[in-house]
């Protein structure tokens, strides 16, 4: 991905100079190689600080919600998964297509910072891809590891290595095709447990929850104008953090994105206390696939699965 | 002679502690190390850079039940809740020890004393644990704290060879040392030498980051463009404030059901959009710019003016956990680098 | 951590389950009414909350009911095709197929939460359903273990 940096710089500089976009959202270097951070460019001079590598995980299109009130045209760099998130915002009529200029970025996988940091807590210089393996090149030497094991979970089953649509594509399209089939094995494993064990498992997870709302704020499906957790009346959720409020939060969040979740897993990635939020999202996605025949790969659908029905839906309530 | 706790007796130390105190200690859970009440010494770990959550949770809990109230026959009965017990918090790193002193000032100094906080503070014995290998996110030395600073601890442990060199700092620490007396060996170790070794440890990030003059510089930077430049990437979540060992903002709320209820004091975060939203709908901090500015001005300027110290101890949690790298280090660097001459003077 | 857990020492002596029934105004509530006027006996463990349509029942209502002391929850609506608003219960069906599975996934015993179609003419069915659920929940015992610690 790094090799596309110079093309990105040229492109963004041009877009800003000829006023195709009013500003552009991409990445800049963060505290270390594994932590690139979002970057808002307002002039062509900023392109010198652009950064690109295989750790650019953030979905930048969520930031479009911050600019609804104005009339700027916002340029945004989007990988396949980010584009799906943008499609979510477009489908929900939250963002106007005409106000977004999409620079598509073909992508064969983003590495999971947490997993890489277990091998390289500090001093990683770069990641070099070699077929099925990657070389983690650091200040204290190289480490060769299987590529698959260090990718973000979403990248393993990614159906869109190339963004579905764009105004401009960086470089050539890459060969598509997920590295693994989504078999929901982690969800199935949990379903096998006894109810009491599952209860203890989720209790432990929810107990750790800080209610920092990072999972909600990063989620492209959480795009309501006013979130039900932010209103005092009706009081869907108390301010207090008891175990029941934490569970209510997670249950509600999961239901509100049911059939709308694009499966990007950003919620889980940003959670500071490792709550396996995707195990909730995937459970719903799996059931929606099985019950209503809407596979995850088709979401966002024009009408969301819970906003419609079929006369022949399964019925077990007689 | 210096007291030493052999590595092999650590579990017994925790067990003996539990005879008289409830224990809060670092526990590894689903891949993260959290501070949490535990009754199992076997679950306690010492191989962490720092815990994800900070010890402030146990003095200034996320939800404090202040009192209950009940309406009976036209009268309201109020029942205050008081915190009771004797607690030991084990394994607190020097940066977090320092943070307790900073929050103490907020809740202790001035006209009002915060009794809920102080009750917990008085009844908790803090066992510090010096850092043998500061990590890539640590910058305690920026704020005058070192990997061996015991300030804030009642009893300090310095990992040394096959055990922990013990330093007793307060009466509470002395009481705990007596409770675990049989496990502590007197050895011919030079405490000052051990401490010196920890104090001299390199903290790569902190050693190169200076806050000298940042507070004064910020006096003139309220309207500086740096805030508009930094804030767009903020997610508006509460990770930084909730994990921060020094953040201490809260809100109060009544939870009422029928004719009874409780008053709760809950953490709040200046990064949330509704933090300053008034009843009438007006919000004096309407965008991320004002909210991000507030967080850093509070830590690097307002608090300094009130208490003479920076409200940060360089624990590195925001570096580790902020999903968009809007961290204390980044902001200090930005402030250091920004020119103030071209900025209009603010009233 | 911010959440503290309390003990759940519960005695079941003399215990009767509390069951919350969300009944749609047009069918199931009328069904309950018919059970009453026809003098069909059914357990008094159910507390009925009348809703305009089973589609009104927000999944949060169900979880909250459990959290605030319900041992079982019943959502009852018109049979598919019979909805007073034509299609409300079709949405209910989709939603609660998921909710039922999600609650089970979270470790809540599935028999504690049930959805049934009960028409205005099915007084007997209403009584039977309530009797059945009451019996099942009685066998499961108090949901105290399921309940989570409350701020109160």
A120, A90: one domain: no
Contact assignment for B61 to C2 by CB distance below 8 Å: yes
Contact assignment for A241 to C108 by CB distance below 8 Å: no
The reply to whether B253 touches chain A by the CB within 8 Å rule is yes
Nearest CA to A158 out of A76, A83, A220, A258 is that of: A83
Domain with A189 in it? 185-292
Q: Nearest Cβ partner of C151 from A240, A291, A317?
A: A240
How far apart, in whole angstroms, are the C-alpha atoms of residue A53 and residue A113?
12
Mutate to test the interface with C, among B24, B61, B87, B89 (most CBs of C within 10 A): B61
Beta bridge partners of C49: C22
A191, A224: one domain: yes
Does residue A298 sit within a domain? no
CB pairs under 8 A between B and C: 24
Q: Which helix (H) or strand (E) holds C112?
A: none
Predicted-complex ipTM score = 0.93
Tokens 């902001």 label which residue?
Answer: B331
The reply to whether C139 touches chain B by the CB within 8 Å rule is no
Mutate to test the interface with A, among B61, B324, B326, B331 (most CBs of A within 10 A): B324
The reply to whether C1 touches chain B by the CB within 8 Å rule is yes
Contact assignment for A239 to B251 by CB distance below 8 Å: yes
A165, A94: one domain: yes
Q: Nearest Cβ partner of B232 from A63, A214, A216?
A: A63
Q: CA-CA distances (angstroms) from residue B244 to A154, A212, A300, B312, B321? A: 30, 12, 37, 8, 10
Contact in structure between B86 and B22 (CB atoms under 8 Å): yes
| Nearest-CA distance A167 → chain C (Å) | 37
Instruction: Pick out chain B residues at pLDDT < 50.
Output: 341-347
Measured from the Cβ of residue A189, the count of other Cβ atoms closer than 10 Å reads: 10
Contact in structure between C35 and C62 (CB atoms under 8 Å): no
A101, A139: one domain: no
Contacts of A215 (CB under 8 A, 6+ apart): A253, A267, A268, A270, A271, A275, A277
A261, A121: one domain: no
Residues in chain C closer than 8 A to A290 (CB atoms) = none
Does residue A205 sit within a domain? yes
Domains and CATH numbers, chain C: 19-151 (3.40.50)
Instruction: Evaluate if residue C130 carries a pLDDT over 80.
Output: yes
Does residue A63 sit within a domain? yes
Chain A residue at shortest CA distance from B62: A241
A92, A11: one domain: yes
* Tally of domains in chain A: 3
Does residue A127 sit within a domain? yes
Contact assignment for A306 to C94 by CB distance below 8 Å: yes
Q: Where residue C150 falls among pLDDT bands split at 50, 70, 90?
A: low
For residue C12, what pLDDT is reported? 64
**Using the 8-state DSSP alphabet, how is residue C38 labeled?**
T
Chain A residue at shortest CA distance from C6: A243
Contact assignment for B62 to C151 by CB distance below 8 Å: no
Contact in structure between B5 and B173 (CB atoms under 8 Å): no
Instruction: Evaluate if residue C123 carries a pLDDT over 50.
Output: yes
For residue C14, what pLDDT is reported? 83
Q: Nearest Cβ partner of B65 from C2, C3, C151?
A: C151
Residues in chain C closer than 8 A to B262 (CB atoms) = 151-152
Residues in chain C closer than 8 A to A318 (CB atoms) = 116-117
A239, A287: one domain: yes
A102, A121: one domain: no
pLDDT tens per residue across all 318 residues of chain A: 778 999 999 999 999 999 999 999 999 999 888 999 999 999 999 999 999 999 999 999 999 999 999 899 999 999 999 999 999 999 999 999 999 999 999 999 999 999 998 888 778 888 888 888 999 988 888 889 999 999 999 999 998 999 999 999 999 999 888 888 889 999 999 999 998 899 999 999 999 999 999 999 999 999 999 999 998 888 899 889 988 899 999 999 999 999 999 999 999 999 999 999 999 999 999 999 999 999 999 999 999 999 999 999 999 998
**Does the reported pTM lie above 0.90?**
yes
Measured from the Cβ of residue B63, the count of other Cβ atoms closer than 10 Å reads: 23
C-alpha count within 13 angstroms, C-beta hemisphere, residue A81:
24
Residues in chain C closer than 8 A to A261 (CB atoms) = none
| Nearest-CA distance B51 → chain C (Å) | 11
Number of continuous H segments (helices) and E segments (strands) in chain C: 4, 4
Tokens 């006027």 label which residue?
Answer: C37
pLDDT tens-digit map of B14-42? 999 999 999 999 999 999 999 999 999 99
Q: C114: buried, middle or exposed (CB in 10 Å: 19+, 13-18, 0-12)?
A: buried
For residue C3, what pLDDT is reported? 41
Pair of tokens at residue C85: 């608003």
A24, A163: one domain: yes
| Nearest-CA distance A241 → chain B (Å) | 6
Q: Nearest Cβ partner of C2 from B62, B257, B261?
A: B62
| Nearest-CA distance B262 → chain C (Å) | 6
A163, A15: one domain: yes
Chain B, 250 to 289: residues with Cβ < 8 Å from chain C are: 255, 257, 260-262, 264, 267
Does residue A17 sit within a domain? yes
A104, A139: one domain: no
Contact assignment for C151 to B63 by CB distance below 8 Å: yes
A201, A271: one domain: yes
pLDDT tens-digit map of C49-90? 999 999 999 999 999 999 888 999 999 999 999 999 999 999
Beta bridge partners of A133: A130, A146
First-to-last CA distance in chain B?
A: 60
Segment A293-302 long-range contacts (CB within 8 Å, at least 24 positions apart): A294/A259, A296/A182, A296/A263, A297/A159, A299/A259, A299/A260, A299/A261, A299/A262, A299/A263, A300/A84, A300/A87, A300/A88, A300/A91, A300/A92, A300/A260, A300/A262, A301/A91, A301/A259, A302/A91
How many residues are present in chain B? 347
How far apart, in whole angstroms, are the C-alpha atoms of residue A92 and residue B323?
25
| Nearest-CA distance A133 → chain B (Å) | 25
Does residue A179 sit within a domain? no
Nearest CA to B97 out of B33, B27, B148 is that of: B148
**Nearest 5°: CA angle at C56, between C54 and C61?**
100
Alpha helices in chain B (DSSP H): 10-20, 94-108, 115-122, 171-179, 191-199, 204-208, 214-218, 226-230, 239-243, 288-297, 303-307, 317-321, 328-337
For residue B343, what pLDDT is reported? 44
Chain C residue at shortest CA distance from A190: C105
Q: Nearest Cβ partner of B52 from A58, A114, A272?
A: A272
For residue B3, what pLDDT is reported? 94
């Amino acid at each position: 991905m790094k090799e596309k940096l110079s093309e990105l710089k040229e492109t963004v500089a041009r877009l800003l100079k000829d006023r195709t976009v009013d500003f552009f959202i991409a990445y800049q270097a963060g505290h270390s190689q594994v932590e690139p951070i979002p970057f808002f460019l307002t002039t062509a001079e900023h392109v010198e600080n652009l950064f690109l590598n295989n750790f650019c995980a953030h979905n930048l299109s969520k930031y479009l919600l911050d600019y609804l009130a104005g009339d700027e045209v916002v340029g945004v760099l989007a990988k396949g998964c980010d584009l799906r998130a943008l499609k979510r915002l477009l489908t929900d009529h939250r963002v106007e297509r005409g106000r977004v200029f999409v620079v598509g970025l073909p992508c064969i996988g983003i590495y999971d910072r947490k997993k890489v940091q277990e091998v390289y807590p500090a001093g990683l210089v770069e990641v070099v891809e070699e077929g099925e393996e990657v070389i983690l090149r650091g200040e204290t030497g190289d480490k060769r590891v299987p590529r698959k094991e260090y990718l973000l979970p979403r990248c393993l089953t990614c159906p869109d290595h190339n963004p579905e649509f764009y105004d401009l594509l960086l470089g050539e399209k890459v060969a598509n095709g997920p590295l693994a089939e989504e078999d929901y094995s982690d969800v199935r494993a949990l379903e096998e447990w006894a109810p009491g064990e599952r209860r203890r498992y989720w209790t432990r997870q929810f107990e750790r929850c800080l209610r920092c709302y990072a999972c909600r704020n990063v989620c492209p499906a959480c795009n309501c104008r006013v979130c039900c957790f932010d209103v005092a009346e009706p009081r869907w959720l108390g301010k207090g953090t008891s175990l029941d409020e934490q569970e209510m939060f997670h249950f509600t969040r999961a239901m509100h994105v049911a059939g709308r979740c694009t499966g990007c897993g950003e919620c889980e990635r940003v959670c500071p206390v490792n709550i396996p939020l995707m195990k909730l999202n995937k459970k719903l996605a799996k059931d929606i696939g099985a019950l209503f025949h809407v596979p995850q790969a088709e979401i966002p659908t024009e009408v969301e699965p819970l906003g419609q029905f079929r006369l022949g839906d399964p019925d077990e309530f007689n | 002679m210096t007291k030493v706790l052999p590595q092999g007796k650590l579990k017994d130390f925790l067990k003996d502690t539990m005879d008289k105190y409830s224990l809060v200690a670092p526990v590894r859970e689903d891949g993260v190390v959290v501070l949490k009440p535990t009754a199992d010494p076997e679950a306690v770990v010492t191989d962490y850079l720092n815990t994800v959550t900070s010890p402030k949770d146990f003095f200034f809990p996320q939800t404090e039940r202040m009192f209950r109230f009940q309406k009976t026959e036209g009268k309201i009965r109020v029942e205050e809740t008081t915190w009771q017990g004797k607690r030991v918090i084990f394994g607190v790193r020097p940066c977090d020890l320092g943070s307790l002193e900073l929050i103490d000032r907020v809740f202790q100094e001035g006209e009002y004393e915060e009794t809920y906080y102080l009750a917990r503070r008085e009844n908790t014995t803090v066992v510090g644990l010096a850092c043998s290998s500061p990590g890539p996110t640590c910058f305690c030395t920026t704020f005058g704290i070192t990997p061996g600073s015991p300030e804030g601890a009642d009893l300090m442990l310095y990992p040394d060879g096959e055990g922990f060199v013990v330093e007793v700092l307060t009466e509470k620490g002395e009481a705990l040392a007596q409770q675990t007396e049989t496990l502590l060996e007197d050895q011919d170790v030079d405490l000052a030498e051990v401490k010196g070794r920890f104090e001299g440890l390199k903290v790569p990030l902190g050693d190169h980051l200076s806050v000298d003059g940042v507070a004064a510089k910020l006096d003139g930077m309220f309207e500086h463009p740096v805030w508009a430049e930094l804030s767009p990437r903020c997610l508006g979540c509460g990770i930084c404030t909730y994990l921060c060992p020094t953040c201490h903002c809260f809100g109060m709320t009544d939870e009422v059901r029928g004719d009874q209820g409780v008053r709760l004091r809950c953490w709040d975060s200046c990064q949330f959009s509704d933090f300053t939203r008034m009843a009438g709908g007006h919000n004096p901090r309407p965008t991320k710019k004002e909210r991000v500015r507030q967080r850093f001005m509070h830590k690097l300027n307002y608090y300094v003016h009130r208490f003479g110290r920076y409200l940060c101890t360089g624990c590195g949690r925001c570096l580790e956990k902020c999903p968009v790298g809007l961290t204390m280090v980044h902001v200090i660097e930005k402030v250091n680098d920004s020119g103030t001459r071209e900025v209009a003077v603010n009233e | 951590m911010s959440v503290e857990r309390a003990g759940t020492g519960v005695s079941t002596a003399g215990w009767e389950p509390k069951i919350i029934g969300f009944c749609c105004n047009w069918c199931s509530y009328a069904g309950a009414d018919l059970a009453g006027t026809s003098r069909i006996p059914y357990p008094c463990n159910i507390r009925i909350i009348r809703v305009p349509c089973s589609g009104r029942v927000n999944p949060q209502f169900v979880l909250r009911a459990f959290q605030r002391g319900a041992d079982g929850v019943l959502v009852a609506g018109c049979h598919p095709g019979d909805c007073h608003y034509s299609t409300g219960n079709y949405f209910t069906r989709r939603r609660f197929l998921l909710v039922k599975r999600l609650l089970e996934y979270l470790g809540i015993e599935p028999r504690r939460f049930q959805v049934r179609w009960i028409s205005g003419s099915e007084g007997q069915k209403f009584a039977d359903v309530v009797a059945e659920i009451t019996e099942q929940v009685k066998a499961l015992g108090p949901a105290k273990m399921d309940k989570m610690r409350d701020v109160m």
